[in-house]
Amino acid sequence: MIGHLNAPRSDRSRWTPWDSAPDPDGAAGPVRVYCLPHAGGSAGSYLPWARGQHQPGLRFVPVELPGRGTRLAEEPLRSMDRVVDGLLDVLAHRPADERFMLFGHSMGSQIAYETARRLASEELPMPLSVIVSGGRPPGAPAVATLHDLGDDRLMKGIVELGGTPAEVLEHQDLVDLLLPVIRADLTLLADYTTRVRPTVLPCPVVALGGADDKLAGPEWISGWRSTTAARFRHRILPGDHFFLHTHRAEVMAELAAEAADRDAPGHG
């Protein structure tokens, strides 16, 4: 049996610490949107989404990776395979009739794609759609190689690229907290970028980007078209790399529109 199906329940719950109990009638309940973080990010960045009532019909499920947030005491993972193993275990224990989507920002977009790719390869239930945000498509060159730099240069490089607010550098305690996670995440991405062999997903893909994003500009967002054999659409919103927070209402509207489209006649 595949190893990720054998993890104890306590292990699985760590990945979705703020998830509520599944609806007993999953097919009629809201679409669960599993939200994957950017490099150095935690599930906490999606808490306003999960706690708000912004989009009826959607239930946002922030995903917590080891080494941050509620899992701060754990060692950060440096392997995409290990991250996806954990997510597949969570998804494998969903109610069979529950509808879900995967949403990932920046590093999370790569995790969302790879999770969907693994679901397809293992013939497991697929998400209604994969929504990627602020990320380059698999197979695209890395923005920069930072994971093997010294601590100061790594943090300055992240700030220069727009991946972290400059104010973070003024708080050494915060830098010390973030560094191990950021270095692990960048190591994961560097390794994944060199190993990934892009395949075409059978589910729709929606790609969102920021007009002024230095990490994944509009020219990269349209490149996600090659990742799906199903429907594809993309939209560029105002803002920089973190447009998903400054233009949260528009991003949520895109998610709601995608869920509604999948509920339309002709879609299963």
| pLDDT digits (tens), the chain, 268 positions | 233 434 444 578 999 998 865 555 444 578 999 999 998 889 999 999 998 866 788 999 999 999 999 999 999 999 999 999 999 999 998 888 899 999 999 999 999 999 999 999 999 999 999 999 999 999 887 765 665 555 666 676 666 666 566 666 566 676 677 788 888 888 898 889 888 888 999 999 999 999 999 888 999 999 999 999 999 999 999 998 889 989 999 999 999 999 987 665 445 4
* Residue 106 annotated to the active site: yes
**How far apart, in whole angstroms, are the C-alpha atoms of residue 57 and residue 49?**
13
DSSP string, 54-114: SSTTEEEEEPPPTTSGGGTTSPPP--HHHHHHHHHHHHHTS-TT--EEEEEETHHHHHHHH
Instruction: State the burial class of residue 134 (Cβ atoms within 10 Å of its Cβ: 0-12, 13-18, 19+).
Output: buried
Instruction: Name 108's Cβ contacts closer than 8 Å, sequence gap at least 6.
Output: 35, 36, 37, 38, 41, 133, 135
**Phi-psi sector, 22: left (phi>0), alpha (psi -120 to 50), beta:** beta
Q: Position of tokens 């209604």? A: 128
Catalytic residue among 106, 109, 129, 133: 106
pTM to 2 decimal places: 0.87
Residue 244, CA atoms < 13 Å, CB-side half-sphere = 27
